[in-house]
Amino acid sequence: MEYKQEALSSAYFEVRAKRERIAKMQDEYSKKITELTEDEFVNIVQDLATAKALSEGGTLDDYIDGQEWYVNSLIEFSKLTIDEQLHQAYISKFGKNASVSDMKTELGSIVI
């Protein structure tokens, strides 16, 4: 696949931000994010939901599901190689920046 620079640049910044967030969580808990205990996972989700409720209004319950999804997505993301992380982010960004012609070419490359 030939990468489009605009989408690739945007994907880079997304991957970098996620990796920095994962590294920060791992520093806070002195372990890999994939090794969190259930209690640690729940604490992170509650901390994030509380911060969101305080900054945006609402209750803790309003944000629990979203923050649980977010933490789970970071855990799954951390299991990918850097190449897989960048490719996943690129695919997401490509659709937002590509021309119709580029989209058709890319979709046509997938054999079904």
Domain boundaries, the chain: 5-108
| Token code pair at residue 109 | 């490359």
pLDDT for position 18: 97
pTM: 0.82
Q: Cα separation of 79 and 92, whole Å?
A: 18
pLDDT for position 5: 87
Place of tokens 């997938």: 110
Q: Cα separation of 86 and 69, whole Å?
A: 20
**For each successive 10 residues of the chain (112 residues), what is the average pLDDT?**
84 96 92 94 95 94 96 97 94 84 86 86
Handedness of CA 42, 45, 49, 51 (dihedral sign): positive
pLDDT for position 1: 66
